[in-house]
Copies of this chain bind each other. A is one copy, B any other.
Amino acid sequence: MFIRTATTAMAARTPSRPLTGSSQGVDSLSAAMELMGARIAYVRNIEIYGEGESADYLYKVVSGTVRSCKLLDDGRRQVTAFHMPGEIFGLEVGDNHSLSAEAIADSTIIVVKRNAILALAARDAEIARQLWTLTARELQRMQDHMLILGYTGAKERVAGFLLQLAKRCSDGNEIKLPMSRQDIADYLGLAIETVSRTMTQLENDATITLPTSRRVVLRNRAALKRLNA
Which A positions have Cβ atoms within 8 angstroms of B? 18-19, 70, 72-73, 76, 78, 80, 92-94, 98-99, 122, 125, 128-129, 131-133, 135-140, 142-143, 145-147, 149-152, 186, 189-191, 228-229
Given contacts A80-B143, A132-B132, A140-B93, contact A70 B229 (CB under 8 A): yes
Instruction: List 13 extra interface pairs beyond A70-B147, A125-B125, A139-B139, CB under 8 A.
Output: A70-B229, A76-B150, A93-B133, A93-B139, A98-B140, A128-B128, A128-B129, A131-B132, A132-B135, A135-B135, A138-B139, A139-B142, A151-B189
Q: Assembly of this chain: how many copies?
A: 2
Q: Are B19 and A93 in contact (CB under 8 A)?
A: yes
**Which residues of chain B are within 8 angstroms of A19 by Cβ–Cβ distance?**
93-94
Choice from B92, B143, B149, B228 contacting A150 with Cβ under 8 Å:
B149
Taking each of A80, A94, A128, A132, which has the highest tally of chain B beta carbons within 10 Å of its own beta carbon?
A: A132
